[in-house]
Amino acid sequence: MNVGVIGTGWCGGIRAVAAARSALVAELHLAEIDPDRLREVAELTTPAGTTTDWMEIIANDRISAVMVSATPETLHYPMAKAALEAGKHVLLEKPMALTLDEADDLIATAEERGLKFTIGYSQRFNAKQAVIKRAIDDGTLGTVTSVLISRHITRSLGAKISSRTKLSPAAMEATHDLDFAFWCLQPRRPVRVYSQNAWGVRAATHGSPDTQYLIVTMDDGTVVTVGAGMSLPPGYPNQSTTWMEVLGTEGAILADASHRDIVLNTVGQGVQFPLSTMPGEYVGEVYAGPMERETTHFLEAVAYDRPVMVDPRLARVTMEVYLAADLSADRNEVVSLPLTPDQIEAALKSA
């Protein structure tokens, strides 16, 4: 099949290389407004076509699947909407939209046209998360009673994200772990959210909190706690560290994804932890992290007409929860789900 990638920055570049290496892809087409970056990714992928106008990807009838990796995040909805209306299968980076109405519109458009539509929640494709999911699904843990996930990214990445969007740590980081937890706990659904911000070095530079903490109560009483921070010091040059705990009536599983198992110590830079799986990186011919496999999964879903792993309806649930978290942090109160239209409007303003 022929595939288009719109936006070839960090994530889009990874997806472009993964697609170029896939035997399922006949032609790869790239759209990127930065000509230098477009040239760089083109040298890595040998695409059939390149353009600085993303609408050329949409208008190309030969392209059947599109990956939307453009920033800022305000572009996600109009680009995905145009691709779906043109009859193309879509992998869209998170967040899937800025409003729930936009998310609902994308879901409806994909379903009406019978198209594959999925969201880039790459943490589902990590091996450690897969082990946790298996332990829940096969009953090893008994009935899960609580999930705790702590994720922190570096100040440099936090600054990069905040320079292009005003979305909160809940929307930009905790969203990955909310999605993973809700996926593991299906068919349970979130019913209450309480959130607090922790302010520090980013208050003066970005007007944003360093960390946001969320406590989510599911409809059976299971508690999901997620902490997402954006102010790690530069010892983590490749962006992220995560700790996970899942407790059940018959057992517990703990997973360390802090990437402290490889230590690089140099005179010039001191101690660093050089390898991250968020979203991953090529190390020679080996890809460390989830995004390459996630990209291949999308291509396989289209080629073989298989279900996508990340159902956009569950991504919509995650979106509603982080909007509720922003409202909770702003008002210092527990927020019940589903959100009312007035609450949604207030949440968007608080973010």
Give the closest residue to 81 by CA, choosing from 64, 60, 103, 65. Answer: 103
The whole-number pLDDT of residue 163 equals: 66
pLDDT of residue 18: 97
**What pLDDT sits at residue 53?**
98
| pLDDT, tens only, 11-28 | 999 999 999 999 999 999
DSSP class of residue 272 equals E
Q: Each residue of 113-161: pLDDT tens digit?
A: 999 999 999 999 999 999 999 999 999 999 999 999 999 988 777 777 7
Mean pLDDT of the chain: 93
Angle at 147 between CA 146 and CA 151, to 5 degrees: 155
Chain segment 26-56, per-residue pLDDT in tens = 999 999 999 999 999 999 999 999 999 999 9
Q: What is the pLDDT of residue 237?
A: 59
Report d(CA 180, CA 268) in Å as an integer. Answer: 38
φ and ψ of 244, to 5 deg: -130, 140
Alpha-carbon distance values, 312 to 120, 161, 213, 317 (Å):
10, 23, 24, 9
Entry pTM: 0.93
Which of 253, 279, 133, 151 is closest to 210 using CA atoms? 151
The answer to whether residue 9 scores a pLDDT higher than 90 is yes
Residues 6+ apart with CB under 8 A from 285: none
Taking the C-alpha atoms of residue 167 and residue 5, their distance in angstroms, rounded to an integer, is: 24
Q: Collect all residues with Cβ–Cβ distance below 8 Å to 81 and sequence separation of at least 6.
A: 105, 106, 109
- The pLDDT tens digits of the residues spanning 54-99 come to 999 999 999 999 999 999 999 999 999 999 999 999 999 999 999 9
Q: What are phi and psi of 319, to 5 degrees?
A: -60, -45
